[in-house]
Amino acid sequence: MMVKQHMLFTLYSICGIVLKDILPVSVAATKNKVRGTQGQFPIVQNITVTEGGIVNLTCRVENNDNNSLQWSNPAQQTLFFGDKKALRDNRIELVRATSQELTISISEVTLGDEGLYTCSLFTMPVKTAKAYVTILGVPKKPEINGFTKPAMEGDLITLTCVTSGSKPAAEVRWFRNEKEIKGAKEVNASGRTFTVKSSLRLQVDRNDDGVAYTCKVDHVALTATPQQTTEVLEVHYAPRVEIKHSLTIPQEGQYLKLECVSKGNPSPDPVLWTKDGGELPDLDRMIVEGRELTFTSLNKTDNGTYRCEATNHLGTNHAEYVLFVYDPNALEQRGPDHALIGGVVAVVVFVTLCLIIVLGRYLARHKGTYLTNEAKGADDAPDADTAIINADGNHAHAEEKKEYFI
């Protein structure tokens, strides 16, 4: 039916031209008609639109003597002939139809709508102009695969980010928290669109626990914000322990708090406090609350080695603190630290002796060399003094050639 309608429109246009030619008109009028139509050409523009959007196709002609305009799709099917719709497609609508313009719209465009669209001006001969419509494929939200929670410290894992449906191929970027890192990219064509995959190969450790790995997709069709997906890693690892204390020099009667700082995943709760390899003494002034060991009033009987131990299913770790409680009166009475001063003096004396020994050996070596050079012909002498005594012509005056350094 549509083909027949198109043929009728075409025949109507041709018959109209023939009838005008056979009517009794003046030769001068006919020449002016031909001269006017020779300069008429339709004007169109190429269009780029995102999949699912609307395409507005506009065809204009500057001077038109009531000749019909027509839009055809890439399959050469007539969409509109003037203001008459020729193709049954609810997405296609007439926007404007005059003797100088024909504008139509195509809504909810798909990738199949891409191609060359033709505007025809039915003069003799028919003049055409072609507009290329480019449809951008919108990439789907990326998915991150390859990670099963939780991972164990030291595991080698591969995170893979996949996005499909992009046209042209999308760009995929990785971020570790806010810092961009590089992945291995792979692009595969799937019909008119592309599937893009990017992979990260990681050997995870405790520093990766709680880190957010984000995959972002950039594309010309994403005008607002890029598509992205985030995966927060969970890494299990054995505990590490350290003891923090509130006093530098513990003294009798003071308040002291020891805190057992243990880091591990799963969290190693509770921790175990011991003293000198055994249980803590049952004292009212010694309180254990969670990870903290508190002494409300220190006593010399508290002296000893305190140990904090933390355990999870991956292992056990501990830290120790040696407590020595000082007498505050003894600290006030004692003067300078004599042990420290004695140590410094001993170091100075030792360094001085070493310098004297080195200097003596240096001077002795140079003395021997000098005497040997003075005793010519005594190269085989075992030492410098023998060389001088045995030197030719110097037996009598050997003592005179000796020099001494003090």
CA distance 87 to 120: 16
Residue 394 has a pLDDT of: 47
Q: Give the angle 237-242-243 at the CA atoms, nearest 5°.
A: 150
Give the DSSP H or E segment for 228. Answer: strand 227-232
How many Cβ atoms are within 10 Å of 266's Cβ, its own excluded?
A: 12
For residue 96, what are the CA distances in angstroms to 56, 69, 70, 99, 348? 11, 12, 12, 10, 104
The strand pair at 47-50 and 127-136 is best described as parallel
CA distances from 356 to 335, 342, 360 (A): 34, 21, 6
**305 with 229: CB under 8 angstroms?**
no
pLDDT for 15? 36
CATH pick for 2-136 out of 2.60.40.10, 2.40.128.720, 2.40.30.10, 2.40.50.100: 2.60.40.10
Q: pTM of the full predicted structure?
A: 0.62
Q: Is pLDDT at 186 greater than 90 in this prediction? A: yes
Mean predicted confidence (pLDDT) in 380-402: 50
Q: What pLDDT does 312 receive?
A: 93
Lowest mean pLDDT among 13-27, 104-118, 379-393: 13-27
Name residue 317's amino acid: N
For the chain, residues classed under CATH 2.60.40.10 are 2-136, 143-233, 237-331
Residues in Cβ contact with 186 at an 8 Å cutoff, skipping those fewer than 6 apart: 196, 197, 198, 199
The model's confidence at residue 345, banded by pLDDT at 50, 70 and 90, is confident
| pLDDT digits 0-9 by tens, 217-249 | 999 999 777 899 999 999 999 999 999 998 889
As a whole number of angstroms, the distance between CA 102 and CA 43 comes to 11
Nearest of 74, 58, 63, 57 to residue 41 by alpha carbon: 63
Q: Is the pLDDT of residue 279 over 80?
A: yes
Architecture of the domain delimited by 143-233: Sandwich (2.60)
360 — pLDDT class (breaks 50, 70, 90) = confident
Structure-model confidence comparison of residues 278 and 24, the more confident one = 278
In 3-state terms, what secondary structure has residue 72? strand
Which CATH number fits the domain 237-331, given the four candidates 3.40.640.10, 3.30.1240.10, 2.60.40.10, 3.20.20.140?
Answer: 2.60.40.10
Of 196, 199, 187, nearest to 157 by C-alpha is: 199
pLDDT band at 404 (very low <50, low <70, confident <90, very high): very low
pLDDT, position 405: 43
Model pLDDT, residue 284 = 86
Compute CA distances 68 → 42, 98, 357, whole Å: 11, 9, 117
Report residue 134 as tokens: 């480019």
Most confident stretch, 63-67, 311-315, 355-359, 386-390: 311-315
